[in-house]
Structure 1
Amino acid sequence: MKYKIISLLLAALFFSCGNEKELQLPQIEKADINEIQDVSPAYLFYDETQPDSVLLNRKNLISTTNWLVNVDKRLTLKQAIPHIKFLQDKKKSSSHKNENAKNYFTCHDLSINNLGFLEFTTTNYNLEKPEIIPSDISSFEHSGNIHLIYFGENKDISISKGNTIPIPEKMNISTLKKEIKEIDTLTGRIILNFDKNLKFQDYIFYKSKISDLNLNHLSISNKEYLYN
């Protein structure tokens, strides 16, 4: 089955039990992936009638396919990530597996006004702020090769170079990319940290910008931490 839509509305409409539901996809400027085959979808709706304002619909998921996880951009990471972790664990524990099947977030690609996809198959979500990350520093001589980036709720970004105290100045994504290029001279690893109250729209925006970086010596850890 091919998953490609010719035209895309800003709000995707879905129907469940005869009731119309709206899911607003997060927007990105340009996606690296715009077409995926052999898929099944899951939906995380923004629903204020639910205790945590999230309604998960996963009825059509098939464990051996690529999963397209449609998350409403209005949800916070605190609301969405536990459900995303649940889906990841569900697939990993399935008795029917396909090692080539991946997981993607569905987005609205503004460059083509159609669907785009952002892979998160190997992302490991941790619901706390990191202090010491042994598995991340084991391949380096010391923790000075670890750089922590913090994405705050109010679009504030800071960076700890070499596990030092974060830079106090507020910076935007363009400034952050320049900072990263300056430290991209020695082998090291970047660990991403996100405020739990960050909207999913902002999370996808930051992830897409970070994935666009052409790094020579640094690598992005697959472990991501939520804090606050």
Structure 2
Amino acid sequence: MKYLAFLLLLLTFSCNHEKTVLLPEIVNADITEVLDVSPAYLFYDETKKDSIEMNRKNLIGTTNWLVNVDKRLTLGQVIPQIIFLQNKKRNAEVHKNENAKNYYTCNDTSIKSLGFIEFTDIIYKTGYVFPNVAPDYENPRENRIIVDFRNVQDIKLVTLSKDSILKKSTLKNLKQDLDNLPNDGVYEFILNINSKLTFQDYITFKSKLSQINSSKMSVNENEFIY
């Protein structure tokens, strides 16, 4: 599949006119076009085990992968499937393209078209309550902050050096609270995320983080799902 067709109708993404994925919504996506793609689908289906069904039969290993996830699914349902797909691509021995990337497909309501969030380099780690991050990262511990996303009304910024709550926030106020951190160098944020959150909550969270001044912050590639 060389080009991405305009597949979004209202809030749905259909596959062979048989099943429908309700795409997560996003506003002002940084990425609005991806070329040389192949798709995978994670459907919400209450008749299936764990209410999830994956269709990956159209994936081509050397292309950019567009993963279309139903926004009603929880991270506990989605992330094991995403890890499976990532490992399949990373461990491929033939038909491998080192430049091929992975994206989540979203409904960008600001342009009434598709938007994308890249997740190629993210390493998902499941079953963690708080991350045990190695001490040899470039940033000193005092500049590393755990962003603990429990629910949309309960986000805590926890200092890694003192293991104390620096700030309590919400999804709505997260960008403002992160922007207002003291100018004490570049902060590294380590994401600690509740597996019961919906995929829509997760995409909104990731979108908020992408809006933060990049000269002031970086996000660790490890994401801890508990």
TM-score over 0.5 for the pair: yes
Structure 1 residue matching 2:173: 3-state secondary structure: helix
Structure 1 residue runs of 5 or longer lacking an equivalent are none
- State how 1:30-49 maps to structure 2 within 5 Å: 30-49=28-47
Q: Give, in angstroms, the shift of residue 90 of structure 1.
A: 0.3
| Distance of 2:11 and 2:173 partners within structure 1 | 29
Distance 1:130 1:43, change over 3 A: same
What is the match of residue 149 of structure 2? 151
- 1:29 aligns to 2:12 (yes or no): no
3-state SS of 2:174 partner: helix
Alignment of 1:94 onto 2:92: yes
Percent identical pairs in the alignment equals 45
Cα 1:97–1:48 shift into 2, 3 Å: same
Question: How does 1:107-126 map onto structure 2 within 5 Å?
Answer: 107-126=106-125
TM-score by length of 2: 0.90
- 1:104 is aligned to 103
Q: Which amino acid aligns with 1:218?
A: M
Bigger shift: residues 150-159 or 200-209: 150-159
| Contact 1:4–1:36, Cα closer than 8 Å, also in 2 | no
Alignment of 1:195-214 (within 5 A): 195-214=194-213
Aligned length: 221
Q: Verify the 8 A CA contact 1:151 1:193 in the aligned structure 2.
A: yes
In structure 2, what is the equivalent of residue 160 of structure 1?
A: 158
| Separation (CA, whole Å) in 2 of partners of 1:53 and 1:140 | 41
Q: Deviations over 1:133-167 (max 9, x none)?
A: 006x43234x2221000111354211113442235
RMSD: 1.9
Deviation track 1:160-192 (CA, whole Å, cap 9, x = no partner) reads: 1344223574x2235332332224531331101
Aligned to 1:132: 132
Task: Report the counterpart of residue 9 of structure 2 in structure 1.
Answer: 8
Structure 2 residue aligned with 1:56: 54
1:223 paired with 2:207, answer no
Runs of 4+ in 1 over 4 A off after TM superposition: none
Letter in 1 for 2:38: S
Greater shift in the superposed pair: 174-183 or 22-31? 174-183
Correspondence for 1:79 = 77
- Contact 2:175/2:211, CA 8 A, preserved across alignment: no
SS of the aligned residue for 1:97 comes to coil
**Do the aligned partners of 1:40 and 1:60 also contact (CA within 8 Å) in 2?**
yes
Structure-to-structure mapping, 1:179-194, within 5 angstroms: 179-181=177-179, 182-194=181-193
Gaps of 5+ in 2: none
Contact map agreement 1:184 1:216 (CA 8 A) in 2: no
CA distance in 2, matches of 1:212, 1:140: 21
Which stretch of structure 1 is more off in the superposition, 57-66 or 47-56? Answer: 47-56
- Counterpart CA distance in 2 for 1:131 and 1:57 is 31
